[in-house]
Structure 1
Amino acid sequence: MGYLHPFATRGVRLVATKVRLCQERRRATRRLRQRSKLETNRRHARQSQRGARYLLQGLVTCGQCGYAFYGKAISLCSSRGRPRDYAYYRCLGTDAYRFGGVRICPNT
């Protein structure tokens, strides 16, 4: 931007004010966008440093609360005494321990 003299005509001062307001609006919009992105990343973050253990972990979101689903492994013994492993996906919002003992999501 070029330099605008503060004692210039009234019209130029108004233009300088409008330019300043536009710049401030752009900065505020950028900050809001960054906050929104951080919030989205926080809600859909993969928990492990080594990456996703389950294919859809962190990519599928809950229709009730908007939090991500994560994979949960279960190991049961079959009738023959051998362990049988399986996994399912569950909403982060249903885990009360993550939110101070209160479930956020009504999804069961």
Structure 2
Amino acid sequence: MEYPNLTYIEQLARGDQKIRATLIDVIKTEFPEEKQDYYDSLEKKDYKKIEENVHRLKHKISIFGLEKSYELANTYEHNLREKNRDGAEDFEQILTTITAYIKTI
């Protein structure tokens, strides 16, 4: 199991605590909104919108250094193009993991 980390954010900030805090604030704001958009489109069974939501969330997964999770999300995104939800359970577990991690930073 992979665990989220701030390594990429630290690299971007280059030791500047203000930039680091800003990046974290942006993620803490955007991630829950994007996650809710995903679940809303899922409820509507709007596969195109679900795919778009996964695409946006995939980048947040990457920011947290979750390489294997990124690949799972990428596969799920491609499956959605065929209206295939294979990978949804893994993807949603990733969202749960990130949600829990965000509460700690």
Q: Which has the higher strand share?
A: 1
Larger gyration radius, structure 1 or structure 2: 1
Q: Which has the higher helix share?
A: 2
TM-score of the superposed pair, with normalisation by structure 1: 0.26
TM-score of the superposed pair, with normalisation by structure 2: 0.27
